[in-house]
């Protein structure tokens, strides 16, 4: 199992030195996909033959001028264009759509030498916290198939958590990188808004502000891959209106003994379970042992996080979700009736979101009030973080719940979502397993542009608390 536990950086080094071939590495991960995917349903379309051919090409290049990930396998969230592969985002109406070029982030990853093995499942139009749709079906958690993988990058989280891919690309407008990373026990990074271009995703947000709320970023099983991937992916592409040049510092230069760590126990509305509270406390203690100063703090406006996120995202969106879902014609009532009768091509969360969107549109003054609240919260967070601060914040009220439970607790995702409209960098860090063998974790939040600082904390917490625990380790110990 060793090849299935190493970082992409370590695999690239082995390949570069000739200690293992890219073909061996790619073949090992393909074999793991073939082993776990019948249960997980995470990879929804593969390109195994092409990947093995590209591995042979990578081996032939070895010793020459190669990219930093030459010969390393990866996976790609299906909402990103990957030449020749499906690009439906779980929407039945797009079942026949195939990408004719690579999305900006995909092109950069491939230019660095990474080899995509396939594309992974999403929630319908990437807008729900459970990865399930009528085109590809439901994705299951590698630690317990009865539980969710999160959304919308749930296929990525599940396949990386299963050891079948060392790294991949996800997108995040409400926690869609961080929730799957959390529920599946791996690392995920939502970069500073505007750092990485979103070009080539479906659906997309066309405004500059919306493109800073929607972020593209990496998921990976080892923290040492985070900053190299961010560097590979970062920088304007000339198309994304929200992407800008932002300086990237080195996590290795961060002295954690000079960092203030603010720990926020909850949002004041949704209580967090005892095991996650303890995991966050353990993370704070670990950083304190490295010299960080710890302070518990609360932000009262977090109680309004759901309304703030909805209002600010709505202001930044030019195309309503219902138009993307129903292809320009609002069919919410018909879609709901067909779902109730056991038919139709839409999932219930998508139908409900399309209906709720109209209620939001009907009260513009209310939306304006929460936009103002959001801007005030952003100022408060900026002031609290300052030039040397980090913030620990729960990822979700509980570890991965059973399938369909999120429908009974429909705003739990707000723990991640609020940070999108704050445009702050956030690293999701795994913190071991709970008593039922499910992953624990915490969000590490930094000031605008301080991606290196959140990643430095992730590296330290991985060293101190263990990081990703491969599912086969947990099963062998039970």
Terminal alpha carbon distance of the chain: 18
Alpha carbons within 13 A on the beta-carbon side of 438 = 19
Decide if 363 contacts 108 (C-beta within 8 A).
no
Whether 477 is catalytic is no
CA 283 to each of CA 221, 273, 398, 440: distance values in angstroms, whole numbers, following the listed order: 18, 16, 17, 11
- Distance in angstroms (rounded) separating the CA atoms of residues 86 and 357: 28
Candidates 7, 22, 89, 152; catalytic one: 152
Decide if 49 contacts 59 (C-beta within 8 A).
no
Q: Is 252 exposed, middle or buried (0-12, 13-18, 19+ CB in 10 A)?
A: exposed
Whether 77 is catalytic is yes
Whether 152 is catalytic is yes
- 3-state DSSP assignment of residue 16: helix
Q: Which residue has the tokens 């630690």?
A: 143
Decide if 123 contacts 129 (C-beta within 8 A).
yes
- Distance in angstroms (rounded) separating the CA atoms of residues 88 and 84: 12
Candidates 7, 22, 77, 395; catalytic one: 77
Roughly what angle, to the nearest 10 degrees, separates helices 226-233 and 8-16?
80
Which tokens go with 372?
């103002």
Q: Which residue has the tokens 């890219």?
A: 22
Roughly what angle, to the nearest 10 degrees, separates helices 22-40 and 8-16?
150
Return the number of other C-beta atoms located less than 10 Å from residue 352's C-beta: 16
Torsion on CA atoms 403, 41, 198, 91, rounded to nearest 10: -80
Compute the residue count for the chain.
Answer: 478
Sheet of 389-393: strand order equals: 43-46, 115-120, 73-77, 167-172, 215-220, 187-190, 426-433, 439-446, 389-393, 260-263, 293-296
CA 456 to each of CA 157, 196, 277, 379, 460: distance values in angstroms, whole numbers, following the listed order: 21, 19, 22, 24, 6
- Distance in angstroms (rounded) separating the CA atoms of residues 310 and 421: 9
Candidates 176, 310, 317, 395; catalytic one: 176
Decide if 279 contacts 433 (C-beta within 8 A).
no
Return the number of other C-beta atoms located less than 10 Å from residue 146's C-beta: 11
Q: What stretches of 333-425 adopt beta strand conformation (E)?
A: 389-393
Residues 6+ apart with CB under 8 A from 449: 192, 246, 247, 425
Q: Mind telling me the catalytic residues?
A: 77, 152, 176
């Amino acid at each position: 199992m060793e090849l299935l536990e190493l970082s992409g950086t370590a695999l690239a080094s082995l390949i570069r030195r000739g200690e293992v071939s890219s073909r061996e590495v790619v073949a090992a991960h393909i074999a793991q996909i073939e082993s776990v995917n019948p249960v997980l349903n995470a990879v929804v379309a593969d390109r195994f033959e092409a990947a093995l051919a590209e591995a042979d090409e990578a081996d032939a290049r070895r010793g020459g001028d190669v990219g930093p990930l030459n010969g390393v396998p990866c996976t790609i969230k299906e909402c990103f264009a990957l030449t020749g592969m499906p690009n439906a985002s779980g929407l039945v109406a797009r079942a026949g759509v195939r990408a004719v070029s690579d999305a900006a982030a995909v092109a950069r990853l491939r230019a660095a030498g990474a080899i995509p093995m396939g594309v992974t499942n999403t929630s319908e139009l990437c807008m729900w916290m459970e990865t399930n749709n009528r085109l590809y079906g439901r994705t299951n958690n590698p630690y317990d198939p009865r539980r969710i993988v999160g959304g919308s990058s749930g296929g990525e989280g599940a396949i990386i958590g299963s050891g079948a891919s060392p790294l991949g690309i996800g997108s995040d407008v409400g926690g869609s990188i961080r929730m799957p990373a959390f529920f599946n026990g791996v690392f995920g990074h939502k970069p500073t808004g505007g750092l990485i271009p979103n070009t080539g995703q479906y659906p997309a947000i066309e405004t500059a502000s919306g493109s800073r709320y929607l972020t593209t970023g990496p998921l990976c099983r080892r923290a040492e891959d985070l900053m190299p991937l961010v560097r590979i992916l970062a920088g304007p592409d000339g198309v994304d209106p929200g992407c800008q040049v932002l300086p990237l510092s080195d996590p290795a230069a961060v002295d954690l003994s000079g960092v203030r760590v603010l720990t926020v126990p909850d949002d004041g509305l949704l209580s967090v379970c005892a095991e996650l509270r303890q995991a966050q406390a353990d993370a704070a203690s670990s950083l304190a042992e490295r010299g960080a100063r710890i302070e518990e703090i609360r932000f009262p406006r977090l109680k309004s996080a759901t309304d703030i996120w909805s209002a600010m995202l709505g202001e930044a969106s030019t195309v309503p979700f219902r138009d993307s879902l129903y292809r320009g014609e609002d069919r919410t009532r018909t879609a709901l009736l067909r779902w109730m009768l056991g038919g139709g091509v839409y999932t219930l969360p998508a139908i409900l979101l399309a209906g709720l969107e109209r209620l939001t549109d009907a009260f513009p003054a209310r939306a304006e009030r929460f936009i103002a609240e959001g801007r005030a919260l952003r100022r408060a967070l900026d002031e609290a973080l300052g030039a040397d601060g980090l913030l620990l914040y729960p990822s979700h009220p509980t570890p991965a719940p059973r399938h369909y439970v999120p429908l009974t607790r429909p705003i739990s995702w707000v723990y991640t979502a609020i940070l999108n409209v704050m445009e702050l960098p956030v690293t999701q860090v795994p913190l071991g397993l709970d008593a039922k063998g499910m992953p624990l974790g915490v969000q590490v939040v930094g000031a605008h542009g301080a991606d290196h600082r959140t990643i430095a904390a992730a590296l330290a917490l991985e060293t101190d608390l263990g990081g990703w625990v491969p599912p086969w380790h947990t099963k062998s110990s039970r």
